[in-house]
Amino acid sequence: MPKHGKKYMEVLKKLDWEKRYDFEEALGLSLSSSYANFDETVDVAVKLNVDPRHADQMVRGTVVLPNGLGKEVKVLVFAKGEKEKEAQEAGADFIADDELVNKIKDGWFGFDKAVATPDMMGTVGKLGRILGPRGLMPNAKTGTVTFDIARAVNELKAGKIDFRVEKAGIVHAPVGKVSFGVEKLLENITAFIRTIIALKPASSKGTYLRGITLSTTMGPGIKIDPVLAAKY
């Protein structure tokens, strides 16, 4: 069992382990107990009543967080011609020319998200083994393979996140920074939870939201009442 410092243990003393909190109360506890000397990320983990081994129970989607993620998102775009110009005007940080493609092959990953036009997927496909494991592969299902480059870049810059249920039926997502405060974090969490609920598979029977945990980078996980969460 990992050992924790005194500050972490002090935070634990404030929690009622028999209780399931609502998001607002949990955020208040997490933010008031934050002790790290950096702006911690706030994460939400949702346990779903699905079996991802079945294609009809795969939960995957995207959501633009109203208040962003609290960090600069560097976007690389695979495009040419007018779409290259569109990407530049939308604020893309990098355009993947031949030189940059070779840099990626050599291990350069100075970007957080990648977008591609459909006609560039032949080039992108050659980088699949490099980009895929790092979650950087453009994908039509997440809106990052598209001819609407301006929209894709703007959404990523604004705080669009993509998520996918893991084998254990859990979806993880960052929802902002401690410095956001309760109100902004609650708005982001509400957008995320509503999206998760909207994506409930028709084949999922019974209670869909099985469990929810909220945590900061250095803090303990706080259990959320799924019934209360569903009302946001």
- Over the stretch 70-82, which tens digit does the pLDDT of each residue have? 988 999 999 999 9
- 118-146 burial, b at 16+ Cβ within 10 Å, e below that, comes to eebeeebeebeeebeeeebbbeeebbbbb
Name the token pair of 74.
């560097």
- Whether 123 and 145 have beta carbons less than 8 Å apart is answered as no
Single out the residue in 143, 158, 173 at which a domain terminates: 158
The pTM score is: 0.84
Backbone angles phi, psi at 7, to 5 degrees: -65, -40
CA atoms within 13 A on the CB side of 170: 10
- Over the stretch 175-223, which tens digit does the pLDDT of each residue have? 999 999 999 999 999 999 999 999 999 999 889 999 999 999 988 889 9
User: What residue numbers bound the domain in which 50 lies?
Assistant: 17-68+160-229
On the question of pLDDT at 1 being above 60, the answer is: no
Same domain, 169 and 121: no
**Residue 2 maps to a domain:** no
The one-letter amino acid code at 136 reads: L
- Over the stretch 80-100, which tens digit does the pLDDT of each residue have? 999 999 999 999 999 998 899
Same domain, 86 and 152: yes
* Contacts of residue 129, Cβ cutoff 8 Å, sequence gap at least 6: none
Residue 133: give its domain's CATH number.
Answer: 3.40.50.790
Same domain, 165 and 153: no
Structural domains of the chain, count: 2
Same domain, 123 and 168: no
